[in-house]
Amino acid sequence: MIKGSDLNNVEWLKSDGFVPYPEALAAMETRVDGIIKGQASDMVWLLEHPPLYTAGSSATPDELVTPDRFPVYATGRGGRYTYHGPGQLVGYPLLKLEGTDHVGYVRQLEKMLITALARLGLVSGQLSGKTGAWVQADVASRCPRCRPEDRRKPAKIAAIGVKVDARGVTRHGFALNIDPQMEYFEGIIPCGIRDYPVVSLADLLPSAPGMAQVKREVARAFGETFGYETEA
């Protein structure tokens, strides 16, 4: 198991409203600097952003379909283009990891999201060769707005894009679709994946859970997966 360096000293920050992306990046870097210097504890930050696109280190220009639709921010994380906006829970775990299994860290984030989704009433899982949390085709078939051909495929409900520096400190994190404006994903090729749809909890459940409930379940699942105490 990939763990943080201090299991009993992690701050949980749950922001209300929409946090501008440049503000979040600046706060993230300030906190990471404090963690590296031993002046700040690990932190898990749960928030929402206003509508925007972000580009990971592997993004290519052709994957940005409508570049003038929303602000576009280059990031230092892995992955490609993603959308953030209202109705989507973004999580930034800022942790000093024990060990160097960075792929294992991503797999644990996936398992954490899968656990939280199960408690919210949705069966999901990992998809071989892909990153994130996915629902299988029988679940995706419930999506009323999806194209008929997409209802026969696995669908992505949560994206992951992280950076782990040489000192083992993490930045960026995950994005879970609760009830965002799904048409906004059409402005990019999400995560560079052209052949599978993107879905939300609102697409697949009789009613989408509220943001506060999702934050509680994500925090609870995170604490269990990574061995942190949480006030979820």
Which residues contact residue 139 at a Cβ distance below 8 angstroms, ignoring those fewer than 6 apart? Answer: 122, 123, 124, 155, 204
- Residue 197, exposed/middle/buried by CB under 10 A (0-12, 13-18, 19+)? buried
DSSP category for residue 88: E
Residue in this structure with the two tokens 């609760």, named with its chain if needed: 178
Catalytic residue, from 24, 178, 191, 218: name it. Answer: 191
- Residue 36, exposed/middle/buried by CB under 10 A (0-12, 13-18, 19+)? middle
Strand order in the sheet with 52-55: 72-74, 52-55, 81-84
Tokens of 202: 């609102």
Tokens of 178: 């609760």
Identify the CA nearest to 103 among candidates 69, 124, 78, 68.
78
Check if 191 is active-site: yes
Alpha carbons 179 and 201: distance in angstroms, whole number: 6
To 5 degrees, how large is the angle CA 201–CA 204–CA 205?
80
What residues act catalytically? 191
